[in-house]
């Protein structure tokens, strides 16, 4: 990363606005329009429900060989998510990522299985601005 470029210390996703902000302190470094899970309303409850989770997580690893260009893994499910799913008798699901597009294919609307998708060009930028351990807040 070149000198002088600030890395984000927090990511905020607003599901209703389909917006993801990369922040450093209170300053917005970048803003992106995002696609969400195919059933975006509400918190992810179980594997296969097509919902994007809501809550506080961290970026805990990255996948440079993702089928969706590049991918940053979100630490879902939390212990609370696992307990909620267990109480409901379902699996919580997992593998929630911020990622690019499959084969560069642009899609309209919400189409992921619960992930947060941006264009490949945007994912290249995000990849360089977000470190492992960065906090992410996903709001309704």
pLDDT in tens, 70-98: 999 999 999 999 999 999 999 999 999 99
pLDDT value at residue 52: 97
Average pLDDT over residues 32-43: 94
| Catalytic (active site) residue 115 | yes
pLDDT value at residue 104: 65
Side-chain-facing half-sphere of 73: CA atoms under 13 Å: 12
The single residue of 3, 43, 73, 115 carrying the catalytic annotation is 115
The pair of structure tokens assigned to 30 is 């970048």
**pLDDT at residue 132 is higher than 60:** yes
Cβ partners under 8 Å of residue 40, min gap 6 = 15, 51, 52, 110
Tell the residue number behind the tokens 């995002």, with chain if given.
34
What is the number of other CB atoms lying within 10 angstroms of the CB of residue 28? Answer: 12
The pair of structure tokens assigned to 15 is 């599901």
| Catalytic (active site) residue 3 | no
For the chain, what are the domain ranges? Answer: 10-139
Superfamily for domain range 10-139: L,D-transpeptidase catalytic domain-like (2.40.440.10)
The single residue of 43, 69, 73, 99 carrying the catalytic annotation is 99
**pLDDT at residue 1 is higher than 60:** no
The pair of structure tokens assigned to 4 is 């002088």
The pair of structure tokens assigned to 101 is 């597009």
pLDDT value at residue 4: 62
Cβ partners under 8 Å of residue 30, min gap 6 = 8, 21, 22, 125, 126, 129
Confirm if 63 and 127 have CB atoms less than 8 A apart. no
The reported pTM is 0.92
Average pLDDT over residues 112-134: 96
């Amino acid at each position: 990363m070149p000198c002088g470029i600030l890395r984000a210390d927090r990511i905020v996703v607003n599901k209703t606005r389909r917006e993801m902000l990369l922040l450093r302190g209170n300053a917005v470094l970048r803003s992106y329009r995002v696609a969400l899970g195919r059933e975006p309303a509400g918190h992810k409850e179980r594997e296969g429900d097509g919902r994007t989770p809501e809550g506080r997580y961290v970026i805990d690893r990255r996948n440079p060989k993702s089928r969706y260009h590049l991918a940053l893994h979100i630490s879902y499910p939390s212990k609370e998510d696992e307990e909620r799913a267990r109480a409901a008798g379902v699996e919580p699901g997992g593998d929630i990522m911020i990622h690019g597009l499959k084969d560069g294919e642009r899609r309209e609307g919400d189409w992921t299985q619960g992930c947060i998708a941006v264009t490949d060009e945007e994912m290249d930028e995000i990849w360089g601005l977000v470190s492992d351990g960065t906090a992410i807040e996903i709001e309704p």
